[in-house]
Structure 1
Amino acid sequence: MRDFQFPGRSPLRVTEAAASTSHPLATTAAIETLKAGGNAIDAAIAAAAVLAVVEPQSTGIGGDGFMLYAPKGGGQVIAYNGSGRAPRRATVDWYLGQGFNAVPTYGVHAVTYPGLVDAWCRIHADHGSKPLDQLLQPAIRYAEEGYIVADRVAFDWAACAERFAAQANVDPVLFPGGRTPKAGEKMRDPRLAETLRKIAKQGRDGFYKGSVAEDIVSHLQGLGGLHEMEDFAATAGDYVEPISSTYRGAEIFQMPPNNQGITALLMLNILGGFDLGKLDPLSAERLHLEIEAGRLAYRDRNALLGDPRHGAIKSQEMLAKGHADQLRAAIQRDRAMTDLPAATLEHSDTVYLCVVDRDRNAVSLINSTYHSFGSGVVAPKSGVILQNRGSSFRLDPKHPNAIAPGKRPMHTIMPGMAVKDGRVWMPYGVMGGDYQPFGHVHLLTNIIDFGMDPQAALDCGRVFYDFGNVEVERGIPAAAADGLKQRGHAVVEAPEPLGGGQAIQIDHQSGTLTAGSDPRKDGCALGY
């Protein structure tokens, strides 16, 4: 139980249904959908669509999405990969011939085809119950009539001001008068409202064909992009087999590559050899072990992950317990490793949400345009912000994540799902680009090893190994930070909050749901 004399919030505790998102308007849309008879899939799509309007820096219909879904409270987990691909004319030789030594972080040459709308439409057709038109109405209303800019959204928006100020043609709707909106200001985008109406009426064809697709592709081509209408129309996601590993009696499910979810599983496999529960959760020793496990797992991620359709990915070998044993042997409890290359990591903006309905259908859904406002390219008539997910590709032709025609990039956004005793236990996720495997592991070990409820586990201070430094949030005690320094870590204050997350824990025996929502975002968990 938390100390009620300190700031914080209690977890949500309900019996019927719960939703947790990074924005109160999205959580409300999910709950209203559930109360109107929709299921967890319906509620998740309604919430995701609202987030695509009210958190434009983090997500949008010009991005990608992934879903894990456990129907009817069982232990079967269904995975859907809604990530887009590179243009068919995109090759390593083309980029090198243009003088690039890396895929640009921003701009037209970082844009991959957006897979999110196709994902919504496919999972709705297969698992939803309410008409898509009905589910998109809240998002359409906020885009048309306006929404109030929330505080964290304003914080992220303002952080982009310098980058967009350098652009010749800044989108006038997103940056009115060339400035960023303040918290409490009302924003609207009628262009996006009309685009969502077309999707509501025509499904995926309203986005991937016709005027919206023409607006997007013609704009990209005008900027020198390799994108084509035929490729855009053919964009489609896939059901895939999820990957999993066990951690102290729980089976943890993740998306397979091209997703980085395997990184979190590898970290858990390494940490499973330490008795974390005997340590203080905010001690230097616990955090040091987490950091070192992350450094080892990220080394494997950076070297081995890519699109399995374009080359074998050694997932089974990476998840073998013997591999974790070998990696764990390199960790010293009192000293940071010195023989690892610094990981090349970047922060990004993403939205994650989870929903559990009265039938215990559980949805774990994540959406993103990658960096804040994605590539910075906005289709002028439709208001679609295009993602910069292509910047994850490499230009080394021998690397498994080398750019190639129709290839998916290594993807950072990763929904999570935990199963216990053959029944779904918890949909969960932590946002934050490359931070996400760290975030998943920190959240899960907080709950499993230290007995925290979902809200307390999300509130707990975080650290992240980034560019050779250990970023430490202000919620980490000074003694723990000093202890990390004594172990040889280069400790710096985190320049911004590390990620954000949501989780809903299911107790099948008592019939209760316990949910939390990260205080690093504007959102909340609601239920009934």
Structure 2
Amino acid sequence: MNNLMPTGFHAMVASPHYLATQIGSRILQQGGNAYDAAVAISAALAVVYPHMTGLGGDAFFLMYDARSKKVEALNGSGRAAGQATPEAFRKRGLQAIPHRGVLSAITVPGMVDAWWEVSSKRGRLPWEQLLSPALQFAENGFPISRDLAVWMVRDEPLLRRSVSMARTFLHQGRLKRQGERLTQPELAATLRILQTDGRDAFYNGRLMHSITTSMAHDGGLLTEDDFRAHRSDWVEPISTTYRGNVIYQLPPNSQGFSALMMMNMLERLNVSKLERHSAEFYHCMTEVVKKAFADRDCYLSDPAFVSIPLERLLSKAYASHLLNCIKLQPPHAGQHCSSASGQDTAYAAVRDEEGNAVSFIQSLYFDFGSAYMPGTSGMILQNRGSYFSMDSYHPNRLEPGKRTFHTLMPGMITREGKPFLLMGTQGGEGQPQTQLSIMTGVLDYGCSIQEAIALPRWVYGRTWGEDSDKLRIENRGLDTEAQRLKLWGHDVELLPSWSGVAGQAQGIMIGEQGLLSGAADPRGDGMAIGW
């Protein structure tokens, strides 16, 4: 299952779909920089990975600018509709926000505006050129990948319930299969307008009018005013240190700070002394995750609406306090019940010859998002807003104009002021945990980026429909270790050795003398290209 790890000294691209990676490589070879390549990859993924991402979703970008030698971040997540209130749902006889359908699509899609911001402020190729490959894939088609085919089968009832989605993913009444050509002419028409008219078509023009008119007809809450008010935000990244390295994440509403809290706790331990495949290792990681998740679930929301004590949460002193509360010797599982979350995401990374680096991630939240396509847009809207709470005392309570708790979190590590590691992964609860696995694999166990991504993973948390948390571990001869973990109080479930539940990660490492190494997850359809 281990992929070839390409190396080079000039540039590197890694994404969860081989076609998107090829597009990024082509953009760089056409004279584009890492920012151009990132936008082109993101747009391509919105076409070839429609179960994970799309124009109707959000995106977050973490970037290193080689000229200024600074790490910067862009929050491209959308805000709740002005009409999105608990009362609006209760009037419809609902006690919770639906997970699917037009009423789950209550946040403005932020990704298109994020593309525009990155392209206009940091790119150098024309906007039209960056969207051209995605348009060609939508218009001329591409082979359905393994992962897309798996999710189409899994979600076949969902696809059949929607006329427009059935029109896209079915042929003569049957589901299209892996390797068959998938064309999306309606999405192509949307992309062509976007290519010609720019982001204003989406937030203040004919695409916006078409989307909101269709949503109003179908009972949705997003209006023209919501789209016109949308903007991405350039934000200051948050960071912590770990064994001489600096780890960067986006600030809330991203859950990125939870990974920084975990690494602060682990820095106080001699992690490399724990055998990587031992019960002791998985116990330690799981307990660290629980402590960080408890604070994440207590505070994470939109900082424009809720006060989040980041300075305290990210302090080394607080990490020591949390670590002292963990029962490592003798091992005993602590109690925590996480909130169930979606896990369907696409992460990619680019580093160009000038030294610019982009770590970015995008999503529709659930697989196929809201499963709602407005009109003939060919675009699936995200259901990210369904994660809001109807509880008026909850930090993530639903309020108009608010950004919800967001699982998306692209990561970057610098060494001596320059990018050393770009990493991220698919998954909801799994994102900080897989980053934890990758970071400790590289920084504590001396793995290459490909080796770190290939390590057996764990995912602690709860998925929809479950009443309790589980500790899921990819089983690579770990039956005995699983039994030990159960004796210590963990609810363990062994997964297949290379499980989709563990997500799909990508990464780029920049080593000594500028050697670039790239890796795509063997659990997915991705590829890394470097030269």
Query: If the TM-score is normalised by the length of the shorter chain, which range does it land in?
Result: over 0.9
**Corresponding residue number in structure 2 for 1:3:** none
Secondary structure in structure 2 of the residue aligned to 1:104: coil
Runs of 4+ in 1 over 6 A off after TM superposition: none
Q: What CA distance in whole angstroms lies between the structure 1 residues aligned with 2:163 and 2:148? A: 24
| Aligned residue in 2 for 1:396 | 391
5+ residue gaps in structure 2? 463-468
Residues of 2 paired with 1:261 and 1:287: CA distance? Answer: 21
Percentage of matched positions with identical amino acids: 38
Give how far 1:316 is off: 1.4
User: Quick one: which amino acid aligns to residue 99 of structure 1?
Assistant: G
2:300 equivalent in structure 1: 305
Q: Note if 1:470 corresponds to 2:474.
A: no
What letter corresponds to residue 124 of structure 2 in structure 1? S
Question: Any idea what SS the aligned residue of 2:215 has?
Answer: helix
The 8 Å contact of residues 429 and 460 in structure 2, kept in 1 or not, is answered as: no
> For residue 425 of structure 1, what is the amino acid of its counterpart?
F
Q: What is the alpha-carbon distance in structure 1 between the residues aligned to residue 277 and residue 323 of structure 2?
A: 21
1:476 positional shift: 5.8
Partner of 1:63: 57
Quote how far apart the aligned CAs of 1:234 are. 2.3
Q: CA deviation at 1:493?
A: 2.9
Aligned residue number for residue 465 of structure 2: none
Alignment match of 1:16 (pick from 7, 10, 30): 10
Which letter maps to 2:418?
R
Distance 1:463 1:41, change over 3 A: same
1:505 to 498, 506, 509: 509
Task: Return the letter of the residue paired with 2:480.
Answer: A
Alignment of 1:96-495 (within 5 A): 96-111=90-105, 112-165=107-160, 170-177=165-172, 179-333=174-328, 334-338=330-334, 340-467=335-462, 468-475=469-476, 477-494=478-495
Q: CA deviation at 1:205?
A: 1.4
**For residues 356 and 173 of structure 2, what CA distance do their matches in structure 1 show?**
44
**What is the one-letter code of the residue matched to 2:47?**
V
CA distance in 1, matches of 2:476, 2:404: 34
Q: Deviations over 1:384-434 (max 9, x none)?
A: 110000011111122221111111001001111111111221221111122
- The answer (yes or no) to whether the contact 2:341–2:387 under 8 Å persists in 1 is no
Aligned-partner Cα distance in 2 for 1:425–1:158: 39
After TM superposition, the structure 1 stretch with the greater mean CA deviation from structure 2, 159-168 or 181-190, is 159-168
- State the one-letter code of the partner of 1:519: P
Residues in 2 aligned to 1:194 and 1:166: alpha-carbon distance in whole angstroms: 23
* SS of equivalent to 1:155: helix
Q: Secondary structure in 2 aligned to 1:352?
A: strand
Structure 2: how far apart are the matches of 1:168 and 1:198? Answer: 23
Answer yes or no: is 1:518 the counterpart of 2:521. yes
Q: Is the contact between residue 330 and residue 337 of structure 1 (CA under 8 Å) also seen in structure 2? A: no
2:164 and 2:378 in contact (8 A); partners too: no
Specify whether residues 469 and 313 from structure 1 end up closer, same or farther in structure 2 by C-alpha distance, changes over 3 A only: same
Judge conservation of contact 2:422–2:508 (CA < 8 Å) in 1: yes
2:255/2:406 contact within 8 Å kept:
yes
Look up the SS of the partner of 1:312 in the other structure: coil
Distance 2:177 2:482 in 1: 34
Distance 2:163 2:205 in 1: 28
Find the residue that maps to 1:69 and give its secondary structure. Answer: strand
CA distance in 2, matches of 1:520, 1:229: 40
**Structure 1 SS opposite 2:321:** helix
Match of 1:515, SS state, is strand
Alignment equivalent of 1:52, drawn from 46, 52, 61: 46
Using a 3 Å threshold, how does the CA distance of structure 1 residues 177 and 295 change in structure 2: closer, same or farther? farther
Q: Flag the 1:440–1:427 CA change in 2: closer, same or farther, 3 A.
A: same
Counterpart-to-counterpart distance in 2, 1:132 and 1:168 = 32
Following TM superposition, by how much is the alpha carbon of 1:101 offset from its aligned partner in structure 2, in angstroms?
2.9
Q: Are 1:379 and 1:385, in contact at CA under 8 Å, matched by a contact in 2?
A: yes
Answer yes or no: is the 8 Å Cα contact 1:242–1:254 preserved in 2.
yes
Q: Distance in 2 between matches of 1:227 and 1:9?
A: 43
Structure 2 letter corresponding to 1:128: G
Aligned positions, number? 520
1:4 aligns with none
State the alpha-carbon separation in 2 of the partners of residues 291 and 9 from structure 1.
28
Aligned 8 A contact 1:62 1:116 in 2? yes
Instruction: Determine helix, strand or coil for the equivalent of 2:287.
Output: helix
TM-score by length of 1: 0.95
Deviation of 1:311 (Å): 2.1
Classify the secondary structure of the residue corresponding to 1:336: coil
Shift of 1:46: 0.9
The worse-fitting range, judged by mean Cα deviation, of 120-129 and 481-490 is: 481-490
Structure-1 separation of matches of 2:156 and 2:150: 10
User: Secondary structure of 2:506's partner?
Assistant: strand
Task: Give the Cα–Cα distance (whole angstroms) in 1 for the partners of residues 418 and 311 of structure 2.
Answer: 24
Unpaired segments ≥5 residues, structure 1: 1-6
What is the alpha-carbon distance in structure 1 between the residues aligned to residue 67 and residue 276 of structure 2?
30
Q: Secondary structure at the match of 1:372?
A: coil
Secondary structure of 1:308's partner?
A: coil
The 8 Å contact of residues 20 and 504 in structure 1, kept in 2 or not, is answered as yes
Give the counterpart letter for 1:420 in structure 2.
Answer: R
Question: How far 1:247 moved relative to its partner?
Answer: 1.3
Q: Is the 8 A contact 2:44 2:134 kept in 1?
A: yes
When structure 1 is superposed on structure 2, of 87-96 and 458-467 the one drifting more is 87-96
CA distance in 2, matches of 1:182, 1:473: 27
The CA RMSD measured in Å over matched residues stands at 1.7
Deviation per CA, 1:81-110, whole angstroms, max 9, x where unpaired?
000011011123333343333222112222
Q: Alpha carbons of 1:75 and 1:101: their partners in 2 closer, same or farther (altered >3 Å)?
A: farther
Matched residue type, 2:322: L
> Are 1:170 and 1:178, in contact at CA under 8 Å, matched by a contact in 2?
no
